[in-house]
A and B are shown apart, each in its own frame.
Chain A
Amino acid sequence: DVKVTQSSRYLVKRTGEKVFLECVQDMDHENMFWYRQDPGLGLRLIYFSYDVKMKEKGDIPEGYSVSREKKERFSLILESASTNQTSMYLCASREGTGPIGNTIYFGEGSWLTVV
């Protein structure tokens, strides 16, 4: 089974703090993603990565950056947290090839509250 692990389930941070959300997958997948989930808005793509050191902006990259130094690890960084970044953050990975490789697998999510 694919395992996508998000290091922190629940975080409370202060406005202006730098926040790191870490994600590791164990299936040697090429593609990794960061989404946030908000009521009524569904899952919105923040950033994704096709390969090590590669990154692409999604629909809502403002206020975020990412890092992919190793294939298995994809980090989401909030340089200066704001209250409108309070949300559930979901990391996902995908093999990236063929029909079966098109399925993405999610971690359990990280609940971030910015106060």
Chain B
Amino acid sequence: DQQVKQNSPSLSVQEGRISILNCDYTNSMFDYFLWYKKYPAEGPTFLISISSIKDKNEDGRFTVFLNKSAKHLSLHIVPSQPGDSAVYFCAASEDNNDMRFGAGTRLTVKP
């Protein structure tokens, strides 16, 4: 039973354009959401997070949006760069308990 779902296994965008990665969750008790970025043969690295009391968090080119009523969050990357090409994982946590991850979306940014 996957509580965190990333329904798009891959996404390809042109350099300079916006990348939008989506994530849905089923557990309404989740109160903290994170995005991780992973390069091949490396561990995931933390990118950006958002608490359930907010609907938007921005950090440079990265913005995460949270829609609690739809149980949906998204990561926007503007402008996209070739170095952003990686697998992006969405994660959710309830009250500092164990963290659940989605299956990941492979982003390819073409020069």
Interface, chain A (partner B; CB < 8 A):
4, 31, 33, 35, 40-45, 48, 56, 58, 90, 92, 94, 96-97, 99, 101-109, 111
In the complex, given contacts A42-B89, A56-B98, A103-B49, what are 10 additional A-B residue pairs having Cβ atoms less than 8 angstroms apart? Answer: A4-B43, A33-B99, A40-B103, A42-B6, A43-B91, A90-B43, A92-B43, A104-B99, A106-B44, A108-B42
- A90/B44 in contact, CB under 8 A: yes
B residues within 8 A CB of A92?
43
Shortest distance in angstroms between B105's beta carbon and chain A's nearest beta carbon?
A: 10
- A102/B93 in contact, CB under 8 A: yes
Query: In the complex, which residue of chain B has the Cβ closest to the Cβ of A42?
Result: B103
- A106/B98 in contact, CB under 8 A: no
A residues within 8 A CB of B99?
33, 45, 94, 104
In the assembled complex, the Cα of A58 lies from the Cα of B1 at a distance in Å of: 12
Q: Mark B51-90, 1 if CB is under 8 A from A, else 0.
A: 1000000000000000000000000000000000000010
Among candidates B51, B100, B101, B104, residue contacting A99 with C-beta atoms closer than 8 Å? B51
* 6 examples of A-B residue contacts, CB within 8 angstroms: A43-B44, A43-B104, A56-B98, A96-B96, A104-B91, A111-B41
Q: How large is the interface on B (under 10, 10 to 19, 20 to 34, 35 or more residues)?
A: 20 to 34
Q: Mark B33-56, 1 if CB is under 8 A from A, else 0.
A: 010100001111110010100000
- B44/A40 in contact, CB under 8 A: no
Shortest distance in angstroms between B3's beta carbon and chain A's nearest beta carbon?
A: 9
- B9/A40 in contact, CB under 8 A: yes
In the assembled complex, the Cα of A35 lies from the Cα of B102 at a distance in Å of: 12
- B43/A107 in contact, CB under 8 A: yes
- B96/A109 in contact, CB under 8 A: no
In the assembled complex, the Cα of A41 lies from the Cα of B46 at a distance in Å of: 19
Shortest distance in angstroms between B13's beta carbon and chain A's nearest beta carbon?
A: 21
Shortest distance in angstroms between A90's beta carbon and chain B's nearest beta carbon?
A: 6
Query: In the complex, which residue of chain B has the Cβ closest to the Cβ of A40?
Result: B103
- A102/B32 in contact, CB under 8 A: yes
- A43/B98 in contact, CB under 8 A: no
- A43/B49 in contact, CB under 8 A: no
Shortest distance in angstroms between A32's beta carbon and chain B's nearest beta carbon?
A: 11
